[in-house]
Structure 1
Amino acid sequence: MNIESIIQEKKGTIVDVRTPEEFRGGHVAGAINIPLNEVPYRVEDLKTLKAPVVLCCASGNRSGQAHRYLQQHGLECYNGGSWLDVNYYQSLAV
């Protein structure tokens, strides 16, 4: 399944790994904010979320780092890239 379908069909959880300040400035509706620096300490929390987890940030760099780390810890997750892209895909949902 591709990321666009997961987002549009609300099959998982969107996690934004930007800072709380960035998140407050705008984010995907329904997204959870877990800053990248907290990800290693919140793996167990992330494992309780509806899978798959779609990670996003400002450009895709931080979400890519989180994706690699979480995959190594057995989480079903995807790098959604920029939160603006994820927001766009969500807006296409029927």
Structure 2
Amino acid sequence: MGILNSLFGNKSVKIKDFQSRGAIIIDVRTVSEYSQSAIPGSKNMPLQTLNANIENIKKLNKPVITCCASGVRSGSAAALLKSNGIETLNGGGFMSLYKKLEL
């Protein structure tokens, strides 16, 4: 077990748990980035528009996995969602997340 896993837990296990509970994947990249390549079934909500969508996300009553290109924007998105009472996991970069998903 790596030092990061011992500090933060195994992200793959958390992702599978979230998926088993019907998690929504929110990709916070720009529309242009998302249109070039994205995880099938993910929702595109660019980071700058996320705050305006908080109430709609809450109504879905599902956990959320955020992703972006590298994990920086999705980290900001996850923090914003968590601060609004939404169970959220920063999935990091979408390509890395895609490899961990069971689609």
Q: TM-score, normalised by structure 2?
A: 0.79
Unaligned runs of 5+ in 2: 1-12
Map 1:17-36; keep pairs closer than 5 Å.
Answer: 17-36=28-47
1:41-68, Cα deviation, whole Å (9 max, x unpaired): 1101111235210000000000000111
Deviation >6 Å, runs of 4+: none
Q: Distance between the aligned counterparts of 2:31 and 2:74, measured in 1?
A: 15
Question: Per the alignment, in what secondary structure is the counterpart of residue 39 of structure 2?
Answer: coil
Offset of residue 86 of structure 1: 1.6
Aligned partners of 1:21, 1:39: CA distance in 2, in Å? Answer: 16
Q: Greater Rg, structure 1 or structure 2?
A: 2
Q: List alignment gaps of at least 5 residues for structure 1.
A: none
Instruction: Report the CA distance between 1:5 and its aligned residue.
Output: 4.0
Contact 1:14/1:30, CA 8 A, preserved across alignment: yes
Q: Matched residue of 2:89: which SS?
A: strand
Given candidates 40, 57, 63, the residue that maps to 2:68 is 57
Count matched residues: 91
| Paired-residue identity, % | 34
Computed over aligned residues only, the root mean square deviation of the Cα atoms, in angstroms, reads 1.7
Q: In the TM superposition, what is the alpha-carbon distance from 1:29 to its structure 2 partner?
A: 0.4
Describe the superposition over 1:32-90 as per-residue Cα deviations: whole angstroms up to 9, x where unpaired: 00000001111011112352100000000000001111111100111000000121122
Aligned to 1:81: 92
* Separation in 1, partners of 2:45, 2:86: 15
